[in-house]
Each structure stands twice: as C-alpha cells, then as structure tokens.
Amino acid sequence: MPYPYQIKSLEEYRSAYKKSVEEPEAFWADIAENFQWRRKWDEVLNWNFKEPKIEWFKGAKLNITENCIDRYLPEMAEKPAIIWEPNNPEERTRVVTYARLHKRVCQFAQVLKNNGVKKGDRVCIYMGMVPELAYAVLGCARIGAIHSVIFGGFSAQSIADRLEDAQAEFIVTCDGAYRGAKDIPLKSVIDDALIGNKLVKKVIVYTRTRIPVSMIKGRDVWWEDEMEYAETQVEKDGVVSFPAEEMDAEDPLFILYTSGSTGKPKGVVHTCGGYMVWTNYSFVNVFQYQPGDVHFCTADIGWITGHSYIVYGPLSAGATSLMFEGIPTWPDAGRFWDIVDKHKVNILYTAPTAIRSLIGFGEGPLKGKDLSSLKTLGTVGEPINEEAWHWYDENIGRKKCPIVDTWWQTETGGILISNLAGITPSRPGWATLPLPGVQPVLVDENGKEITEKDEEGLYKGNLCIKAPWPGILRTTYGDHERCRTNYFATYENLYFTGDGCMKDEEGNYRITGRVDDVLNVSGHRIGPAEVENAINMHTGVVESAVVGYPHDIKGQGIYAYVIFNGRGTPDEQTKKDINQTVARIIGPIAKPDKIQFVSGLPKTRSGKIMRRILRKIAEGEISNIGDISTLLDPAVVDEIKNGKV
Ligand code: WTA
C-alpha cells in the first residue's frame, strides 16, 4: 500500500479521528514519518491561540521540493508529474515527467540564484497557467525563497500593493497569457505595477504569447536565456542537480494574499513542514488518490486551491496532476469533458460556479464524450446548491462517483471538512465530517458553544476550530497583530473562520456562507471595503457601500450603492466608468454586477452604515427590512427600496 495513512473505511476514519483528538502529537508524528526530513523534529506541536503562536515539527529540517520530486527518483522518473493542457485544443499537450520536473526546477532554482535571489527573499509570481508557473513556485521553494503568486486577474495597482506589502525584490511573469479567446498582457501589467517601485531588482519573463513587451536593461531578463545558461550549470555528464536549501519546518514557504471584511488584502503565511504534511494528508485521504490516477483540479495556481491541490498536495504524493491553461467554456462548453476524455481523468475537482455555468449549456456539450475514467468528483470554494450537486452527480459522475464537498480556506492551507471519497458518506450540500486533526465548534455571538438544537434538530452558529492542525496559517506577513485580531481575537482560544454553519446530530457540517461582510463571488473572496475604496476613487463618487446578493451562477454578485455628485446625472455610462475604475484599482473580478445611485446611505447616529438593510434590499427582501428606527435618516430606506436595480 503506497500511503499507509490512507483511511480505507468508516471505522478507520473514526479511530483515526479519535486518536487525532486524544493524542494529536503521536498521531501527527506517525504521519510525518512518511516524509523525507533532513532532520526530525524535537517537538511535534507547540501552540497557543492567544498570541497566536503555532509551531509544528519544531526543529525539523527539510526541503519540500525533495518531498515533491527527489524522493520519487529514479523509480518514477518517467511517470507524468504534470500533464499540461493548453488553452487552444489544437496546440500540443505537454507531459512533464518527474525527471523532467526535477531538471526544470533545478534549472530555475539556479536561475533565481544567478539573479541574486536568496533564502527568505520574496518572489512575486504573476503568470498564466503554464508548467513554468509550477517550476517557478517549486524553484523558489528549492532555494528557500518565499513565493507570492498573484492571480492573473488582478490589476497593476493590486500588484503594486502586494509588492510593497511583501517587500518583494523579484518578479517572475509571462509576456502574456491565453485565457479562452483573450490574450492577457501580463508583462505590461507588471510594468505599470513597477512605476515608482524602487525595490524590485529583477523581472524574469517567460514568453508564452509573444506579444510585444518592453524589456528594461538591467532589470528585465528572458526566462529562456536564463534557463539555457542555468542548464550548463546544473547538468554535468547527464546528471542534474541543484542542492535544495535546508529549511526549518517553521520557515515560511509562501505568502498568499486574501481579502477580509476590512482593509487591504492580508498576506497569509504558510510554513514548510506543516503545510506539506497537511496538503499531502488531505489530498490522499479526501480524494482517495491511487497511484496512476490522473488528478484534475481546475483552479488557478493564483488561488490557494491551485497551490494545495495542483502543486504541493499531488506532487508530494507522487501523483499525476493535470494543469489546464484555459477556461471551461472555450472553444465551447464541452472543454472540461474533452479534457476528461482525452487524458482519462480519474479525479475532477472544480467549483460550484463552473458547474452552474455549464448546466446552462444543457447536456449537448456532453454528447460523445467518454467520462468513464472518472472515479471521484469534488467541489470547493462556495456552498453547492442541490440542483448543481445532482446535475454533477447524474451527468458527470453517472451516479457512480462519490462527490467530495470540501470546505476550507486560504488560511487553513488545505481541506478541513469533507467526506472522504467512497469511504465516508456524501450528502448534497453538506461538507459532512471534519478530517482527523480538525476540531470544529459552533458558537454564538459571545463565543458560547451552541449546545441546543433548533426545531429542525440542527445546531447553528459561527464556525470555529478549537485546536491547530498542521496546515493552519502562522501569521499575516509583516503584521502579526492583524493575524491575531482577524482570526484569534473574536472568540477566546478559538480560530474563527468567518463562516456560518450548521451541524446535525451525527456530527455532519453544512457551511451556510460568510457571517462577516466578505463576499464570495464565483468562489473568489472579495472584500467589500476594497471594492468601496476602488469605487470611491472615481472622481464623481462621494461614498459607496457594497454588499452581496444571490446570483444564479456566481453564487454571489456584487451590489454597489453609490452616492454620486459628479458632472451631470449619473447614467449607464457612469456605471461603466465606475466599473472601469474598479477594474483598474483591483481587477476585473471585483467589478460590481449592479450599481444603484442613491442620495444617501442608511447610517446609524454614530455614522455606521447599516449593511444589513442594504443586503436585504439587494436580496430583494424589500418587505422584510426589520427595525430602522435607529437610523439617522429612516426616509433614505424608502428611496433606496424604490430605486432598486
Ligand atoms: C467558502 C477556498 C461552502 C467559505 C478554498 C470559506 C465554502 C471561503 C466551501 C474560503 C465549501 C470554501 N462549502 N463554502 N465546500 N469551501 N467555502 O480562502 O466561505 O478562497 O470561508 O479558500 O470559501 O475562500 P478561500
């Protein structure tokens, strides 16, 4: 058996869970034995949620790339590590074997070194979904540089903010990226982000679309030139090597920015040892991966799902990870099914938004596609509605594939609550049971545990976790206090997820959505304060308030209430200008779906915007607004109701 810690029955799950709670240190030490450490730990776990301070496998030394690559050589040299499917189906597929991955990662690590990157330096990666993105990520990990991948849909301004926050000195990018019918000019966005930046020393540019790019002497270098030279350094007599940096288990591996209910995005920090163990353990158990299976996670590596379940989880398990450059609806809505058919995909992991958008095209795009290789289906990122679940089950899984509904967050590093495919029962709309090591608790506003069932026999409350699991975030980059106040200060001694949740008598969990103001649009986290700040940058805007509303495909849409005092009467053109402003400041993903111009916002006497009211109106619950007597100007509510778009 390849993974001794792979749970094979409900009983095994129960006993693993029990042990993980009663003897967490012994439990995780056993699992950690299955990895390659240069030196073992002195202590398995040391923690308090007060500061917070969380250390897993303290004193242990490792390099995660040795666990993702070297340990599978030479036995699996010819086995595919990454199968890459290009945006354009006419273009050639690339198969990257473990031997080839090793060579490319060593080469790129050498490139980084040649360009002055050292252990602990921050390297920002802004690329399309090409294998070189995986090489860049792993190359950083190999030399101990901290990567910070930024999704290709973020604007120059967003990148500039992140570069500044991370104090990054290096960038890896592409000339452009293909996504469906679009070519996205990534390098040009980077050039804009670098105006006025004094810190960035080097930009490494991989050529993908070959659109014209400006290349600045002394700063910008071509990936291809650098790799060619590095090849002569890392390959001697046919043997490839680049010594991996020895990392402490608690050294940072990466920073990934994510949005909260207030302020700018936070740089969530994950560390080498715990993150590795957690992504691997959750990957092997939730998807029930078997050697030889082709795992297709449709996320972008710019998000945590891509980090954990395209790169680190699968590769650390010696798996074959399919990486797709394009989008589900191009050249037509059958693209996912073509890929499943062509590459004989066994595990498909996608977002409810993608499923809902494909439902809209009917069963036509499925005709003639052989989906019989599929064994396991998964969803992530947002609650899945029952209709989408059943469509996925019937049309894609042909009622033979377990569906894992995986609940987790950027901060959790990997999946925390999910059924285990074919091992523990699945249930539409329910993430079901916590993984071993995860101790959820539902609390009320005061942090008191919910112990009473409601009339439906369910416990309902805010979802917290009682104790650390190896993949929990350690800090928010450059601002530990922000990490504490955001996640560990709402309720004493608990990690607060920001999600609302219900639990049944058997201990199954169902996530109901965010209880803070954070929006979840197409499975992407968007901070309302960020969108408001962007809207307020428009010259004519005085003030704005942003809330979510139910959207058939995206799960949630963005509804913006805007007070406008610019030239003329605001109209459709003004809305477009506002959208354009948001696209510039954050990126196209944060553009409001609806904009309503209002003369005032419902505020309390202390000046706080009553979002509850705005949310109700955006949701169309006009008759059920609730108490508005505490408002400074209750009349404004009628005006807003009447003007709803
Ligand atoms: C939501 C994505 C319901 C949740 C991995 C969480 C989900 C936020 C699920 C994190 C699920 C994620 N069911 N809701 N299976 N998975 N969410 O950081 O609100 O991009 O807090 O991580 O997505 O989003 P993030």
517-557: pLDDT as tens digits? 999 999 999 999 999 999 999 999 999 999 999 999 999 99
Give, for ligand 1, the residue of 259, 303, 382 to mutate: max count of ligand atoms closer than 8 Å to Cβ: 382
Q: How far is the CA of 327 from the centre of ligand 1 (A)?
A: 21
Task: Return the residue whose CA atom lies nearest to atom 12 of ligand 1.
Answer: 381
CATH superfamily, with its number, for domain 442-514: Luciferase; Domain 3 (2.30.38.10)
pLDDT over 90 at 434, yes or no: yes
- Distance CA(95)–CA(637), nearest Å, equals 59
pLDDT at 566: 85
Q: Which atom of ligand 1 is nearest to the CA of 525?
A: 20
Label residue 625 by pLDDT band (50, 70, 90).
confident
Query: Token pair for residue 519?
Result: 């929006």
Q: Which helix (H) or strand (E) holds 438?
A: none
Which of 397, 325, 399, 384 lies closest to 351, judged by CA?
384
CB 60 within 8 A of CB 29: no
284-295: per-residue pLDDT in tens?
Answer: 999 999 999 999
CB 203 within 8 A of CB 175: no
Give, for ligand 1, the residue of 403, 499, 519 to mutate: max count of ligand atoms closer than 8 Å to Cβ: 499
Q: How far is the CA of 577 from the centre of ligand 1 (A)?
A: 31
Q: Please tell me which residue, 621 or 343, carries the higher pLDDT value.
A: 343
Task: Return the residue whose CA atom lies nearest to atom 14 of ligand 1.
Answer: 382
Q: How far is the CA of 250 from the centre of ligand 1 (A)?
A: 25
Q: Which helix (H) or strand (E) holds 568?
A: none
Q: Tell me the average pLDDT across 330-357.
A: 98
Which of 498, 569, 506, 507 lies closest to 540, judged by CA?
569
Task: Return the residue whose CA atom lies nearest to atom 5 of ligand 1.
Answer: 409
Q: How far is the CA of 406 from the centre of ligand 1 (A)?
A: 8
pLDDT at 630: 86
Give, for ligand 1, the residue of 154, 305, 350, 520 to mutate: max count of ligand atoms closer than 8 Å to Cβ: 520
Residues touching ligand 1 (Cβ under 6 Å) are 258, 303-305, 380-383, 405-410, 431, 497-499, 511, 513-514, 520, 525
Task: Return the residue whose CA atom lies nearest to atom 25 of ligand 1.
Answer: 409
**Every domain of the chain and the residues it spans:** 442-514, 519-642
| Reported CATH class of domain 519-642 | alpha beta
Which of 336, 290, 282 lies closest to 313, judged by CA?
282
Q: Which atom of ligand 1 is nearest to the CA of 518?
A: 19
Task: Return the residue whose CA atom lies nearest to atom 22 of ligand 1.
Answer: 409
414-428: per-residue pLDDT in tens?
Answer: 999 999 999 999 999
Task: Return the residue whose CA atom lies nearest to atom 15 of ligand 1.
Answer: 407
pLDDT over 80 at 33, yes or no: yes
pLDDT over 90 at 624, yes or no: no
164-195: per-residue pLDDT in tens?
Answer: 999 999 999 999 999 999 999 999 999 999 99
Task: Return the residue whose CA atom lies nearest to atom 3 of ligand 1.
Answer: 383
Q: Which atom of ligand 1 is nearest to the CA of 511?
A: 3
DSSP single-letter state for residue 228: H
Q: Which atom of ligand 1 is nearest to the CA of 258?
A: 18
Q: How far is the CA of 119 from the centre of ligand 1 (A)?
A: 32
Q: Which atom of ligand 1 is nearest to the CA of 411?
A: 18
Q: How far is the CA of 553 from the centre of ligand 1 (A)?
A: 16
Task: Return the residue whose CA atom lies nearest to atom 13 of ligand 1.
Answer: 383
Q: Which of left, alpha, beta for 394 (phi over 0: left; psi -120 to 50: alpha)?
A: alpha
Q: Tell me the average pLDDT across 256-275.
A: 96
3-state helix, strand, coil in the chain (%, to 5): 30, 25, 40
- Distance CA(69)–CA(92), nearest Å, equals 24
Residues making up the chain, counted from first to last? 645
Which of 562, 29, 609 lies closest to 273, judged by CA?
29
Q: How far is the CA of 380 from the centre of ligand 1 (A)?
A: 7
Q: Which helix (H) or strand (E) holds 403?
A: strand 403-406
pLDDT at 305: 98
- Residue for token pair 């398995």: 44
DSSP-assigned letters across all residues of 293-341: PEEEE-S-TTSHHHIIIIIIHHHHTT-EEEEE-S-TTSS-TTHHHHHHH
pLDDT at 604: 92
Mean pLDDT score across all residues of the chain: 97
pLDDT at 623: 85
Q: How far is the CA of 415 from the centre of ligand 1 (A)?
A: 10
Query: Token pair for residue 421?
Result: 């495919």
| Angle CA 108–113–117, to nearest 5 | 110
- Distance CA(171)–CA(163), nearest Å, equals 9
| Angle CA 426–427–428, to nearest 5 | 125
Give, for ligand 1, the residue of 356, 418, 502, 525 to mutate: max count of ligand atoms closer than 8 Å to Cβ: 525
pLDDT over 80 at 395, yes or no: yes
Q: Tell me the average pLDDT across 32-56.
A: 98
Q: Tell me the average pLDDT across 336-362.
A: 97
Q: How far is the CA of 264 from the centre of ligand 1 (A)?
A: 19
85-133: per-residue pLDDT in tens?
Answer: 999 999 999 999 999 999 999 999 999 999 999 999 999 999 999 999 9
Q: How far is the CA of 381 from the centre of ligand 1 (A)?
A: 4
Task: Return the residue whose CA atom lies nearest to atom 24 of ligand 1.
Answer: 409
pLDDT at 1: 61
* Residue % of the chain over a pLDDT of 70: 100
DSSP-assigned letters across all residues of 147-184: EEE--TTS-HHHHHHHHHHHT--EEEEES-EEETTEEE
Query: Token pair for residue 423?
Result: 């091992």
Q: Tell me the average pLDDT across 316-343.
A: 98
DSSP-assigned letters across all residues of 409-428: -GGGSS--B---TTTS--BT
pLDDT at 25: 98
